[in-house]
Chains A and B, each alone.
Chain A
Amino acid sequence: MIEWAVNLAITLFAVSILLNLYRLAIGPDIVDRILALDTLMINSIALIVLFDIRLSLGILFEAAMLIALMGFVGTVAMTKYLLRGDVIE
Chain B
Amino acid sequence: MTVSTMPFLLELVVSLFLIAGALFALIGSIGLARLRDFFMRLHGPTKASTLGLGCLLVGSLLYFSFQRGTVSVHEAIVTVFLFATAPVSAHMMAKAALFRGVGKGGPSRNYPDR
Measured CB to CB, the residues of A under 8 A from B are 1-6, 8-10, 12-13, 15-17, 19-20, 22-23, 29-32, 34-36, 38-39, 42-43, 45-46, 49-50, 52-54, 56, 58, 61-62, 64-65, 68-69, 72, 75-76, 79-80, 82-83
Residues of B7-23 at the interface with A, using a CB-CB cut-off of 8 Å, are 8, 11-12, 14-16, 18-19, 21-23
By size class, the interface of chain B is 35 or more
Give the distance to chain A from B24, nearest Cβ to Cβ, in Å: 10
In the complex, per-residue mask of B47-64: 1 if CB is within 8 Å of any chain A CB, else 0: 001101100110110011
Asked if B14 contacts A5 (CB within 8 A), the reply is yes
Residue B68, interface by CB 8 Å: yes
- How many residue pairs between the two chains, A and B, have CB atoms under 8 Å in the bound complex? 172
- Knowing A32-B38, A46-B25 are in contact, say whether A3-B78 is a contact too (CB < 8 A): no
Query: Could you show 21 A-B contacts with beta carbons less than 8 Å apart?
Result: A3-B3, A12-B19, A12-B22, A12-B26, A13-B25, A15-B29, A17-B29, A31-B96, A32-B102, A34-B93, A35-B45, A45-B53, A46-B25, A46-B56, A53-B18, A53-B63, A53-B64, A56-B2, A64-B75, A68-B78, A72-B85
